[in-house]
Each structure stands twice: as structure tokens, then as C-alpha cells.
Chain A
Amino acid sequence: QKEVEQDPGPLSVPEGAIVSLNCTYSNSAFQYFMWYRQYSRKGPELLMYTYSSGNKEDGRFTAQVDKSSKYISLFIRDSQPSDSATYLCAFLGFQKLVFGTGTRLLVSP
């Protein structure tokens, strides 16, 4: 079983749609949970981080963590064409981040 599972997509949605991105993980030692966004040919940029089960909201983005199910989600409301990118979940364990393979999101105008 892979340590982190993430659907690679691509996920295509129209502008204004609600987007749901998900990851599952198997390592109970992971303590912090993050989402990064990566535009083509750029470095990843941190979107959100959290350490507890529950929801965390920042503008149009909501991160959700369910530790009991080892499942995390990122929701994007009112999606925009500028949200088109690859979204990577990341998990902190033993001082280093473990990344999912990324989900490619395409938001069409």
C-alpha cells in the first residue's frame, strides 16, 4: 500500500464550480497536513496547513482532515480559471514532507 494516494486527474470543471480534491494516507505518524498548489514549470506554493481533524477555511479554500479515516480534502468554492494548476497534498512526518502525486485541475471559463 502506498503511503499517500491521490487521484492524478485531470479534473475538469466550469468556472464557478465547487471543487473537491482528496488524499488518503496510511502512516499514523503524520501529524501535519498541507496542500500545495503548483503551476506549470513553477515551484509548489503552500496553500493551507492544519494539524487537527476538522475544517480550516481561508477565503475560497477549505481544508478538511479526518484522522480516523486517514483522509484529507481540499474544497475550492467559486473556482476560477486562475485556479487551474496541480494540487499536491503533503504530510509531515519525521521532519520531512511526503507528497501525493498531485491532482491536475482545469477550470474552464
Chain B
Amino acid sequence: NAGVMQNPRHLVRRRGQEARLRCSPMKGHSHVYWYRQLPEEGLKFMVYLQKENIIDESGMPKERFSAEFPKEGPSILRIQQVVRGDSAAYFCASSTPEVNYGYTFGSGTRLTVV
């Protein structure tokens, strides 16, 4: 069991470019969550998805950010027209429907906007 796989591990983008972050959940996990971690800050919830459905996107910025979890393939977090303030570590987590047992996190994608 490979765990939650995120790629790329590091991503450098110039201001105005697009960033695409990918996440493959653990085998048997149908729920995916994206969190952002800024330096010296905790993990902030962004979005919760199930296959082909966005369940809760209350933590997503209203503009430039979108997420999907298609029927086939990984979940994608997309950031359009990146700005320096988007530089952060983005973590994906997955769980079974019995989420009370907690999430399993990936190793994260560190986005740097230059």
C-alpha cells in the first residue's frame, strides 16, 4: 500500500502562471481533503471531495483556486495566475467514509512562487 501520493514534491512557478497539484488517495479511500500550511502556521482546510463531487469548499479562496476528483485518476488542486502569497505547502489527505479514524496525509507539495 503506497499511501497517499502527491506530486510534484516541489513546484516553482512565476507570478501569473498556473500550478497543478496532484493527489492519489490511499487504496480503498474515497474521500480526499486538501489543506494548506503557511510557514509557522497550522494546517488550514481548503476543500473536501468525493469522486466527482465537491462536498465542502468553504476553505477555498473564491478566485483562482479550483479542485476536482474525477471518476478516474488523481485529485487535482489548480491555482490559476499564482501570486507570491500562494507560496505554501499543500497537503492532501484521504480517508474512508468512517472519517472519525482520522486522515492519512501525503508528503505535500511545496509551491514557491517567484
A101: min CB distance to chain B, Å: 4
B residues in contact with A102, CB < 8 Å: 42
User: CB distance B33 to A96 under 8 Å?
Assistant: yes
User: CB distance B43 to A99 under 8 Å?
Assistant: yes
B residues in contact with A32, CB < 8 Å: 100, 102
- Residues of chain B whose beta carbon lies under 8 Å from any beta carbon of chain A: 4, 33, 35, 40-45, 48, 55-56, 91, 93, 99-108, 110
Tally A residues with Cβ within 8 Å of B: 26
Given the known interface contacts A43-B106, A45-B105, the answer about A31 and B40 at a Cβ–Cβ threshold of 8 Å is no
A19 at the interface (CB under 8 A from B): no
Q: Which A83-109 residues have C-beta < 8 A from chain B? A: 88, 90, 92, 94-102
A44 at the interface (CB under 8 A from B): yes
**A68–B16 alpha-carbon span in the complex (Å):** 49
**A94–B92 alpha-carbon span in the complex (Å):** 18
**A98–B56 alpha-carbon span in the complex (Å):** 14
